[in-house]
């Protein structure tokens, strides 16, 4: 019997649709090779463009479709110069995370080729860790507040709840166990200053007791910014508060080639959204300069998460095709010093994907 997966596709703004279209193309290419699996792709307009057309950045019809889907593929949303009348940027991905309770912002960081890291002089070695960012509260809890420019001060709230912390810590320990590598989870906090972080650490330690086979450690966020650059090979899974995770995930992307190499999955108990960690990159949009690899790796994460033997095979094949193309340092987009366009690098990944799916492996 054929299993149909309903996948909502939200291209979004700027380079979002450019990279998303290329991943959709690879999904369509893959489908006939996967036994008993069918993808039903359901595109919706969201983001700034949709806000300008309809007054809604995330129309109800798009949200309902996400709610009913097996998974969501998202390009990027937002443009720095288009704002709501209250002055705030349009960021419906945050609404999706909160409304779908996508508490685990899973952001893998992997170096595919040593030529792509600026850390060569530090002997950075293998870089392969996952940053898990709590994505429903933390310092983003105050995001609805509107700045009163005539006031004498402005404050935001940082919220750490037991429920949200337990579930994101548990997800992180389970991930470390599943990865089966160093089996280590590093909590990134600021417990030397903030009581919310003392509380977060307490909950992390409680959850850690259920995973005696996984090493648990605490690292202050400022120190982690240093360690990520000086000894990234020491880490396996990291878990942290929303804003720390937002900042550190861009830093982490920088050590493996940039935002175009940083995939992500926003995971909840009943829904998940897969998107690159990068934004709409208005500085390069519309010129086929965007690196689509973060989007392709996010698509591979989605296929893995769908948890069917054939989609898992598709995920492995797609990841292997990306690795195959990157094994030749001459095959890069402009952000990584190369000359290939968004479409051209996907052409190469597509050719390799065919080989991977036919079990022929690498020819690069
Ligand atoms: N998940 C998302 O949808 C998301 C994430 C981050 C930012 N944003 C939004 O996107 C807009 C632009 O934000 P920003 O400029 O701070 O961040 P950005 O990630 O869009 O761009 C930062 C830098 O990285 C480069 N870059 C990003 N992705 C790239 C890719 N795939 N290939 C090559 N280069 C790439 C850009 O050219 C730019 O120089 C803002 O409105 C922001 O709020 C959205
Ligand atoms: C666009 C922005 C609201 C978003 C965030 O801060 O979470 C982005 O930076 C990300 O990392 O997904
Ligand atoms: Mg970010």
ipTM of the modeled complex: 0.98
Please report the atom of ligand 1 found closest to the CA of residue 278.
19
Measure 246 CA to ligand 2 centroid, in angstroms. 6
* pLDDT exceeds 80 at position 246: yes
Q: Which atom of ligand 1 is nearest to the CA of 282?
A: 12
Decide if 362 is inside a domain: no
Distance 359 CA to ligand 2 centre (A): 37
Residue numbers of the domain that contains 292: 3-145+153-357
Q: Poorest-confidence range of 146-155, 173-182, 218-227?
A: 146-155
Tell which phi-psi region holds residue 45, choosing left (phi > 0), alpha (psi between -120 and 50) or beta. Answer: beta
Q: Which of 291, 352, 358, 355 is nearest to 323 (CA)?
A: 352
Let me know if residue 344 belongs to a domain.
yes
As a whole number of angstroms, the distance between CA 202 and CA 133 comes to 17
Report pLDDT for 351: 98
**Ligand in nearest proximity to the CA of 294:** 1
For 280, counting Cβ atoms within 10 Å of its Cβ (0-12 exposed, 13-18 middle, 19+ buried), the class is buried
Specify the ligand 1 atom closest to the Cα of 91.
43
Distance (Å, whole) CA 293 – CA 26: 12
E strands, the chain, in order: 3-12, 37-44, 71-76, 104-110, 128-134, 184-189, 215-220, 237-240, 265-267, 272-274
Atom of ligand 1 nearest to the CA of 12: 3
- Beta-carbon neighbours within 5 Å of ion ligand 3: 246
Does residue 206 form part of some domain? yes
Residue 124's pLDDT is 64
Quick one: pLDDT at residue 361?
61
Is the residue at 343 inside a domain? yes
Does residue 228 have a pLDDT over 50? Answer: yes
Q: Ligand 2 centroid vs 243 CA: distance in angstroms?
A: 9
DSSP, collapsed to helix, strand or coil, labels residue 359 as coil
Q: Pull the structure tokens for residue 264.
A: 């992500």
pLDDT in tens, 80-103: 999 999 888 999 999 999 999 999
Report pLDDT digits (tens) over 15-70.
999 999 999 999 999 999 999 999 999 999 999 999 999 999 999 999 999 999 99
Assign residue 55 the CATH number of its domain: 3.40.718.10
Domains held by the chain: number: 1
Q: Is 281 in the pocket of ligand 1 (CB under 6 A)?
A: yes
Q: Which residue out of 13, 74, 77, 94 has the highest number of ligand 2 atoms within 8 Å of its CB and is therefore the one to mutate?
A: 94
Q: Is 165 in the pocket of ligand 2 (CB under 6 A)?
A: no
What's the start-to-end Cα distance of the chain, in Å?
Answer: 36
pLDDT value of position 118: 92
Minimum CA distance residue for ligand 2 atom 10: 277
| Arithmetic mean of pLDDT over the chain | 96
Q: Does 260 sit in the ligand 1 pocket, CB within 6 Å?
A: yes
- pTM greater than the 0.90 cutoff: yes
pLDDT at residue 142 in the model: 84
pLDDT at 364 over 50: no
Q: How far is the CA of 267 from the centre of ligand 1 (A)?
A: 21
Cβ–ligand 2 distance for 12 under 6 Å, the answer no
Residue 43 CA, ligand 2 centroid: distance in Å:
22
Could you tell me if residue 306 is inside a domain?
yes
**pLDDT at residue 86, rounded to an integer:** 87
Q: How far is ligand 1, taken at its centre, from the CA of residue 280, in Å?
A: 5
Per-residue pLDDT tens digits for 305-335: 999 999 999 999 999 999 999 999 999 999 9
Q: Indicate if the pLDDT at residue 136 is higher than 60.
A: yes
Give strand pairing partners of 340.
Answer: 333
Cα pseudo-dihedral 237, 238, 239, 241, rounded to 10: -150
d(CA 36, CA 45): 29
* Phi, psi of 284, deg, nearest 5: -125, 5
Q: Is 364 contained in some domain?
A: no
With a CB cutoff of 8 Å and minimum separation 6, the contacts of 79 are: 13, 14, 48, 90, 280, 282
The answer to whether the CB of 104 falls within 8 A of the CB of 268 is yes
Distance, in Å, from the CA atom of 248 to the CA atom of 245, rounded to the nearest integer, reads: 5
Establish if 363 belongs to a structural domain.
Answer: no
Determine how β-strand 128-134 pairs with β-strand 237-240. parallel
Atom of ligand 1 nearest to the CA of 276: 1
SS3 breakdown of the chain: % helix, strand, coil, rounded to 5?
45, 20, 35
Point out the ligand 2 atom lying closest to the alpha carbon of residue 246.
11
264 in a domain, yes or no? yes
297 within ligand 1 shell (Cβ under 6 A):
no
CA distance 138 to 164: 9
């Amino acid at each position: 019997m054929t299993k149909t997966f309903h996948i909502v596709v939200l291209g979004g703004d700027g380079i979002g649709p450019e990279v998303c279209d290329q991943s959709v193309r690879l999904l369509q290419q893959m489908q006939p090779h996967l036994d008993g699996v069918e993808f039903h792709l359901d595109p919706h307009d969201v983001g700034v463009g949709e806000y300008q057309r309809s007054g809604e950045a995330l129309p109800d019809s798009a949200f309902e479709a996400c709610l009913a889907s097996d998974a969501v593929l998202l390009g990027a949303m937002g443009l720095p110069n288009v704002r709501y009348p209250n002055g705030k940027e349009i960021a419906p991905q945050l609404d999706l995370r909160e409304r779908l309770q996508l508490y685990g912002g899973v952001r893998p960081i992997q170096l595919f080729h040593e030529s792509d890291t600026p850390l060569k002089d530090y002997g950075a070695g293998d870089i392969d860790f996952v940053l898990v960012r709590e994505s429903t509260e933390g310092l983003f809890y105050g995001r609805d507040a509107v700045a009163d420019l005539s006031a004498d001060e402005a404050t935001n709230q940082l919220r750490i709840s037991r429920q949200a912390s337990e579930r994101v810590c548990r997800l992180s320990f389970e991930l470390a166990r599943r990865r089966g590598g160093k089996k280590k989870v590093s909590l990134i906090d600021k417990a030397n200053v903030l009581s919310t972080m003392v509380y977060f650490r307490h909950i992390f330690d409680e959850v850690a007791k259920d995973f005696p086979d996984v090493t648990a450690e605490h690292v202050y966020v400022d120190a982690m910014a240093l360690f990520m650059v000086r000894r990234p090979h020491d880490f396996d899974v990291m878990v942290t508060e929303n804003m720390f995770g937002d900042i550190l995930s861009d830093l982490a992307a920088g050590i493996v080639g940039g935002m175009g190499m940083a995939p992500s999955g926003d995971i909840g108990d009943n829904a998940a959204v897969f998107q690159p960690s990068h934004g709409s990159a208005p500085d390069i949009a519309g010129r086929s300069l965007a690196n689509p690899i973060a989007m392709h790796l996010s698509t591979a994460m989605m296929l893995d998460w769908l948890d069917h033997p054939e989609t898992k095979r598709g995920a492995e094949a797609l990841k292997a095709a990306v690795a195959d193309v990157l094994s030749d340092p001459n095959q890069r987009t402009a952000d990584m010093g190369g000359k290939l366009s968004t479409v051209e690098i996907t052409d190469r990944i597509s050719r390799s994907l065919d080989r991977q799916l036919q079990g022929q492996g690498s020819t690069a």
